[in-house]
Structures are given as structure tokens and as C-alpha cells.
Amino acid sequence: MKAKKGFTLIELAMVLVIIGLLLGMVLKGQELINSAKVKNMAADFKNVQVYIYAYQDRFRALPGDHRSAADLIPGAQNGAGGTLGNGKIEGVWNAAGNPAASESEVFWQHVRLAGIATGSTNLNDAQYYPANADGGIIGIESVTGFSGPAGLPGAFAVCSAAVSGRLARQLDITLDDGATDRGAFRVYADGGADWLPSSGERAVEDAMLYNVCMAF
């Protein structure tokens, strides 16, 4: 009768080593992907600042708040629902079409028609709002009357939606002070006044999705 042949200890050890190497490669690959996303998202925040400064340099006005945009830029429309020319980008950063053609919404049309940024200039286009590396929309509004966390410094807040807690913390370290509940960079969840984290509330969780905003 033939003896049954099994795996030797050396063979099992080699299999475990190979599995360990594969797992290490997967984890390293995910780390590189996350790092690339953070760099991409950080660039989104900085690019919006460039758009504003370039537009102001050319028109002496803020995109979205520009009272003469419809007269000076072919195809542009003036923002609605606010006071044009008051130095504020009024409207909610993530409320497409509500109010219709608000200053925060036509901001993107103005910078694109001016040749400063790329993208659709049709407010009804499903792809009108720019998206971050994870597909969440990017928007801007003034800090005065801001729809997100209170106490942001500066004049404007650039926000990005649907960012995982893990990436949100990395972004805060990259762009600010690493504290998600204070400073120029804030992390918060949707849901009215349920800002996270704050006193008595749970900390930012890796797998949860958050809005992240940077003021300047």
C-alpha cells in the first residue's frame, strides 16, 4: 500500500511566505492609491484658489458674484439669490439647482467660460460640478453664512463631498494642522447640525464618508 504524500514543512513555509508577500504588495498598493488620492484632492482645494485669483485679476470681480458677467463673458449668466458685487459667493456649495443659478453654482460657469478652468458650462449638465478622486462633488461658498461648521477662518470655504474618514484625516495633515474639528480645514458629516467630530460626538471613522472643507 502506497503511503499518502502530504506537504512538507518547507513547502508549507514557502506557501506562507508567498502569501505574506502578496498581502504586503496589496497593502502597499492600497497605500499608494490612497496617497495619490490625497494629493489629487489637495490639488483640488488649491486649484479653486487659483481660479478665484485669476478671475479677479482679469475682471476685478469674484466668479459667481460678478455683477457684469452676463455682459462681459459670452454665454455667462449672473448669479441669483444673493447680492451681486458684495464680495461674497452666496449660496450653498453642494446644492445644485437650489436655488437655481445661485452664485456658488454659476461660479463654475464663470471660471470655465473665462478659460480659467475646464468643464461643462451648462448648469443642467449632470457633470456640471467638478468631482474629487472618489467621485464626490466639489463646491465653494463664502464663510459668512456658511452651511457647514461654524468658526472657519478666512473669506471662502472650498468643500469636497464623499471623502472617507481615512483620507479626510490625511488631507487635514497635508493642508492644515491634523485636527479635524478646528483650524482652516474641517471634517463633518451630512445631517444638519451633526458636525463631526465635536464635544460629545464620535471621532472620524475610517470607513465613513464625510464632507471636508478648507477655508482661505
pTM: 0.82
Residue pair 130/137 in contact by the 8 Å Cβ criterion? yes
Domain boundaries, the chain: 9-215
CA proximity to 155, closest of 51, 52, 44, 40: 52
- Of the candidates 134, 148, 75, 83, the one whose C-alpha atom is nearest the C-alpha of residue 108 is 75
- pLDDT over threshold 60, residue 24: yes
- Residue 99 pLDDT: 61
What pLDDT digit, counting tens, does each position of 182-195 carry? 899 999 986 544 44
Q: How many residues does the chain have?
A: 216
The CATH architecture assigned to 9-215 reads 2-Layer Sandwich (3.30)
List, in sequence order, every residue forming a beta bridge with 157; answer none if it has no partner.
141, 215
